[in-house]
Amino acid sequence: MPAALLDLPSPVAQADRLVALGAHEVAGLTPAELRDAAAGVHLPGALLVLHPDRAAASALTPLLERRGRCGFVVADMTDVDAFAPVDGVELPDAPVYLAVDPDRGDAMANWSPDEALPAITAAGRTPLTLGEGICWLLQRPEVLDRNHCFMTIGSRVRRPDGSLDARTPALWISNGTGRDGRERRDAPKVGWCWAGNRHTWLGFASAAARTAG
């Protein structure tokens, strides 16, 4: 990924963008509350994240945009908001928190989620959740690039018996085929892949840390 994509706007500029997109309303925050949360942040490489309890993935995804196309969730992912943090991923107890130093994980393209998760944690990093991935693209839409998209394996669905559903969420670009519809070609897309499958065009997004601010 080009170095420029690693740079995030200042936290205040991020808050302004979220307000411009209407994301603050999704989270039930006033513009002032969101800007106040950002004003005290002086941590380099910090991404503002709206807590999923306040801003569900299904509500944030339509705010994504690429080439004039709005983001969408694939038709067979009606339970998108049931994807919750996996064991070992602890979200700060705040309506707005920080994910530090997000990375697309290109080096792990063509790995499976089952292979990538232990490698991410062994490197001292933490996998991005779906909500964190969406918030990253709200700030930097260009991070999503053809043949260079990413999975967010910090989120999974847990079955009633405690086991994990085999699906892992990902963010990529629609080709406008099948149930997506031609009108959605080039749109940002929330979908899923099997935990044991590999894809040459999907990396594994991670962060260095999370903090309440």
Give the span between the Cα atoms of 146 and 154, in whole angstroms: 22
Mean residue pLDDT across the chain: 95
In which band, very low, low, confident or very high, does the pLDDT at 6 lie, cut at 50, 70 and 90? low
pLDDT in tens, 42-100: 998 999 999 999 999 999 999 999 999 999 999 999 999 999 999 999 999 999 999 99
Full residue range of the structural domain in which residue 35 is found: 3-211
What span, in angstroms and rounded, lies between the C-alpha atoms of 138 and 146?
17
pLDDT at 2: 53
Mean pLDDT of 168-194: 96
Q: What is the mean pLDDT of residues 144-151?
A: 96
Q: Strands 155-156 and 84-85, how do they pair?
A: antiparallel
Q: What are the backbone dihedrals phi and psi of residue 115, each rounded to the nearest 5 degrees, phi first?
A: -80, -35
201 CB burial (10 A radius; 0-12, 13-18, 19+) = middle
The predicted pLDDT at position 8 comes to 96
Q: Output the CA torsion sign for 72, 156, 150, 211.
A: positive
Q: What is the tally of structural domains in the chain?
A: 1
What is the structure's pLDDT at 177? 94
As a whole-number percent, the residues of the chain with pLDDT over 90 amount to 95
Given a contact cutoff of 8 angstroms between Cβ atoms, the answer to whether 23 and 14 are in contact is no
Region 9-36 average pLDDT: 97
Any idea which of 2-11, 34-43, 156-165, 176-185 has the lowest mean pLDDT? 2-11
